[in-house]
Amino acid sequence: MIPRVHTRSPYATEALTEALGRPVSDQEGLTGHTVVAHWPGLAPVAPDDEQQLWTSQDWADHLDTPSWEYPRATSPRKDRFAIWHADVRLALGDRQLTGPEWSEIAHRLARAVGIATPGDTRSCRWIAVQAQPRRLDLIANLILPNGTWTSQPGLLLRLAAECRRLETALSLLGPLPARSSPHAAALPAAVHSAAETTGQLAELLHQLADEATGPLVTGRGLVEYAAHRLGALPHAYGPAMEHQLGWIARRLYGIQQDLDAVVADLAATPDRTAQPPALPVPRPPTASARTRSTP
């Protein structure tokens, strides 16, 4: 089972288009088995029979609703990219999974990455989409019902670890031959050592770029503070220095993003040959969709 975490985006349309493999539409409904799991708070608002009539645009509007309800909510990095998206893909040799198995995978992964708590309607809105063969997509809005931002500590490592546990529980193949395979014992020790080293380096780089406690965010915060203080000075050089330090802070933020991408590559093996379809322009929800999606 191969996990991949996508770059966060401001609208659910982008993530849902990628998950479906086709553009989101306000005319085309999803089949009853496409959304295999979702946020528990949806049931009181939209019963199962009503959800069957939802179009893919309705589902996108449902996920986007917290962003419209809390226009000032921002991430720890002060951005508005609230839509989180990850997918997992089965290895080529894996068996076909049933609907309940996909649902179980979705719930376990959602708990592992911090977007779901069993039975808690105060957690963030999320759905799991099984629309493409051998693939499951998790999409969530990280803004909680109280307007705060969902925390996802150790996201990549927890996602990778849960994938390994699911492989064992469901008798699936891992990126390396399964532990039960007769060929596993023949693997060179260097392969196991390389896998362990990769995990350790991923953890090290994750700590370096961590938005809450990493040294890079501390340095970026100090630069931003200095820029703010210089911008408030009456001297002529103040605004110029503020602008220069602002660019330095943005470059540090870019370095954090680059490190996050490296960690994602170390923790997963994404399919770099697949090109995402063209993304439609997001639009605000219709009045009816907003009514259905808002608790």
pLDDT in tens, 213-237: 677 877 877 887 787 777 777 666 6
Q: Which of 65-69, 76-80, 195-199 has the lowest mean pLDDT?
A: 195-199
The predicted structure's pLDDT at residue 98: 93
Question: What would you report as the CA-atom Rg of the chain, rounded to the nearest whole angstrom?
Answer: 21
State what percent of residues in the chain have pLDDT above 90.
Answer: 36
Task: Provide mean pLDDT across the span 114-124.
Answer: 82
> DSSP secondary-structure letter at 278?
P
Higher pLDDT, 273 or 67: 67
- Inter-helix orientation angle 155-170/189-209, to 10°: 140
Strand partners, 4: 87
Alpha-carbon torsion (186, 190, 192, 198), positive or negative: negative
Q: What is the rounded distance in angstroms from the CA atom of residue 194 to the CA atom of residue 98?
A: 34
The pLDDT of 25-45, averaged and rounded, is 81
Split at pLDDT 50, 70, 90, the class of 46 is: low
What pLDDT is recorded for position 249? 81
Neighbours of 278 (CB within 10 A): 7
Q: Band of the pLDDT at 45, cuts 50, 70, 90? A: low
Residue 3 reports pLDDT greater than 80:
yes
d(CA 183, CA 164) in angstroms, rounded, equals: 18
Q: Which of 86-100, 205-219, 224-238, 239-253 has the highest mean pLDDT?
A: 86-100
What is the Cα–Cα distance from 177 to 157, expressed in whole angstroms? 20
Give 284's pLDDT tier (boundaries 50, 70, 90). low
Position 133 scores a pLDDT of 92
* The most confident of 126-130, 154-158, 216-220, 231-235, by mean pLDDT: 126-130
Overall average pLDDT of the 156-170 stretch: 90
Q: What are phi and psi of 230, to 5 degrees?
A: -65, -40
- Rounded to whole angstroms, the Cα distance separating 189 from 179 reads 14
Report the alpha-carbon distance of residue 22 to residue 60 in Å, rounded: 13
